[in-house]
Structure 1
């Protein structure tokens, strides 16, 4: 009885000192949500499926997996005290929800100005992603690769819209597919390494201070 009470006291003390200690790592979930939504949209951007009517399949994913689910991952990262993960997941969750709303409600009413508006939207996210890439250099190689290719994806999509260059947008689509695969790898590595209790898939640490 004494040992049980002592153990409970120790656990309670640990929980007070680190309230995020007993929360599972939300990064694999956030990365998976981001990867799947990016993959499906990029299939259309790359021109692999040319039936534009089918692009509507992206919207439910953008709202519920890339949006809501990734947002929850971001909130759990806040709870764990991970500023990078919290900012990245919650921000890109907002991107996907904003994207769904923009495509559904705003873009159809813009007419000839739609390309400029879309380009401005993408440019803002290019800037955000670029400075997050600098921060990602202190996370790990897998996450940094995701951000490098995501920055390039946004950049080419932005140029494609603002310059009226469909080929550039198509290149952005292919870069988006690479980004999605890299994010899936990082998610896969995170969950597999946890469940197997050893490093089966490397995340390529970049510094002694690396964490995610």
Structure 2
């Protein structure tokens, strides 16, 4: 004979309601009823962190807000995961590629053609740095994602321009004279000078090492752009190109320095790399307040 509780369950089911016995089992029972065996507890299925997995479907707090109109439900919130810091990888990729190109711009060992940089620009400075920028977006760092992804795109586009016999960009522009390519490449570099200046403004409240990285890089783009725009009969203005190479070398070493500062910690290094926070930055104010408080306590003790 059915009990009152069973009658209530049947009535609720007939009315179109779903009864959830356990909120963590995706609407299925957490008890495995095998014929001839005692009931035993069943572990909830692990979807491996898939944000599209149907877990906690009856819990509205586990869903993200809807987007794209009322007909597009929100995705389920993925479990929180701890990611590493992708910035040192992107900075290292940028540093090595910039280092090699800057040495060529300076005329080191009488190397005048940047063909070797094409391979590095595609693989390390381009692809790897772009991936690091995407991971910066995943960890919530908008500035890092914008900077690393953009400079990754810069190196890929740079490699496309200089790919020998590939896209024929240089050959097409230099069909009649070298002036169209030199002017176009100069404007290309000046555009990156403007973009780098915008990023430079955003480093004024960070660290001295980070600010100097973008400052030297911005000067490198400026000098290289001027060198290509103010070309002569022999080609780009060699003085500006070499000066841009010098600032490029400085930017490369500063990028490596910032990368090392992000990698080295108490778990893998005997020392921590100083980055010198600006006095007006948040970290600088915190340290200044600590010094002021300790001084005040010392005077009060006397």
Same fold (TM over 0.5): yes
> What residue in structure 2 maps to residue 62 of structure 1?
121
Aligned 1:160-175 pairs, distance under 5 A: 160-164=227-231, 165-175=237-247
Confirm or deny that 1:101 pairs with 2:160: yes
CA RMSD of aligned residues (A): 2.2
> The residue matched to 2:265 in structure 1 has which SS?
helix
Confirm or deny that 1:40 pairs with 2:103: no
Check the 8 A contact 2:115/2:162 in 1, yes or no: no
Distance in 2 between residues matched to 1:197 and 1:186, nearest whole Å: 15
Listed one character per residue, the Cα deviations across residues 133-180 of structure 1 (whole Å, up to 9, x for unaligned) are 000123322111100000000000011000112211110011101110
Among 246, 263, 272, the alignment partner of 1:191 is 263
Check the 8 A contact 1:154/1:172 in 2, yes or no: yes
Check the 8 A contact 2:105/2:112 in 1, yes or no: no
Distance in 1 between residues matched to 2:88 and 2:159, nearest whole Å: 23
- Which has the larger helix fraction? 1
Distance in 1 between residues matched to 2:94 and 2:79, nearest whole Å: 28
> What residue in structure 2 maps to residue 208 of structure 1?
282
The 3 A distance-change label for structure 1 pair 31 and 195 is farther
Aligned 1:4-153 pairs, distance under 5 A: 19=80, 22-53=82-113, 55-104=114-163, 105=167, 106-111=169-174, 112=178, 113-153=180-220
Q: Larger relative CO (CA 8 A, sep 6+): 1 or 2?
A: 1
Check the 8 A contact 1:138/1:209 in 2, yes or no: no
Deviation at 1:193, TM superposition (A): 2.4
Moved segments of 4+, more than 3 Å: 16-19, 194-199
Listed one character per residue, the Cα deviations across residues 73-94 of structure 1 (whole Å, up to 9, x for unaligned) are 1001101111100000000000
**Stretch moving more, 173-182 or 201-210:** 201-210
Check the 8 A contact 2:266/2:272 in 1, yes or no: no
Deviation at 1:189, TM superposition (A): 1.6
TM-score, normalization by structure 1: 0.85
The 3 A distance-change label for structure 1 pair 49 and 22 is same
The 3 A distance-change label for structure 1 pair 59 and 132 is same
Distance in 2 between residues matched to 1:154 and 1:101, nearest whole Å: 18
The 3 A distance-change label for structure 1 pair 185 and 169 is same
